[in-house]
Structure 1
Amino acid sequence: MKNNILPLGTVVTLKNGDSSELMIIARASVVEQKGEQVYYDYGAVLIPQGMMQPEAVYFFNEENVEKIVFEGYENNDEKIFSQNYHEMVAQSKVPKGNISSSDSVDTEEAGFE
């Protein structure tokens, strides 16, 4: 995987997932996990469903990406954001979240199959 964060609109599959495709809609999202504020590199929604409800956003990190199916739009602002992303999150006081294999995307559990 490349060093820069992936652009919005990028479609990926996840390691240990069920091969569902997810489209990235958020980056560096701060969420509560086990009573603690943490950030994840990416927030994404299932394709083709999209965000049917706010709880249907899946959070994961760049190390969880198995495959890039489609890379999203990249203008100059995106390039600058991408180049500065790792420095930006390193300066944050919010720790990085971690997903386990039990947290992987399960479209059946989400009611989509």
Structure 2
Amino acid sequence: MLPIGTIIYLKEGTSKLMILNRAPILPSGENEEEGIWYDYSGCFYPQGLNPKEVFYFNEENIDEVIFEGFKDNEEERFQKLFQDWLQEEKPNIKKGTITGPME
């Protein structure tokens, strides 16, 4: 799992994205109680966050890591807690898929 602030290119993408968060859960549309999760959300780099241009993607959609974000002890702890959460919740939350290029 890449840290927040990491700069990447997506497969078939032409613009750099910066990772904003990990495991965002979006409403599924079918049932507000359920959600769909992705590995990451990101925004255009260097422009920054525009709420109308937030991209959701998974590890397998990343083509190249340009710069890896900051890591410290808190990041390492988060990674462990996240993996524990994922093992527990994975059967309960549907993972989203990306089927086309995103730019």
TM-score range, shorter chain: 0.7 to 0.9
- Secondary structure in structure 1 of the residue aligned to 2:94: coil
C-alpha change, 1:20 and 1:95, in structure 2 (3 Å) is same
Instruction: Give the TM-score of the pair, scaled to structure 1.
Output: 0.77
Provide the C-alpha distance between the structure 2 equivalents of 1:44 and 1:57, rounded to a whole number of angstroms: 6
Q: Does 1:39 align with 2:37?
A: yes
Partners of 2:36 and 2:63 in 1: CA distance: 22
Change over 3 Å in CA distance of 1:63–1:85 after alignment to 2? farther
Gaps of 5+ in 1: 107-113
Pairwise CA distance, 1:44: 0.4
Change (3 A) 1:15 1:75: same
Structure 2: any 5+ residue segments left out of the alignment? none
Question: Any runs of at least 4 consecutive aligned residues in structure 1 with deviations exceeding 4 A, and if so which?
Answer: none
Partner in structure 2 of residue 96 of structure 1: 95
CA RMSD in angstroms comes to: 1.7
Which residue in 2 is equivalent to 1:80?
77
Task: Give me the TM-score of the superposition, normalised by structure 2.
Answer: 0.83
Partner AA of 2:86 in structure 1: V
Take 1:76 and 1:50, find their aligned partners in 2: how far apart are those partners? Answer: 26
Report the identity percentage: 36
Moved more, 31-40 or 54-63: 31-40
| Count of residue pairs brought into register by the alignment | 98
Question: In the alignment, which residue of structure 1 is the partner of 2:57?
Answer: 60
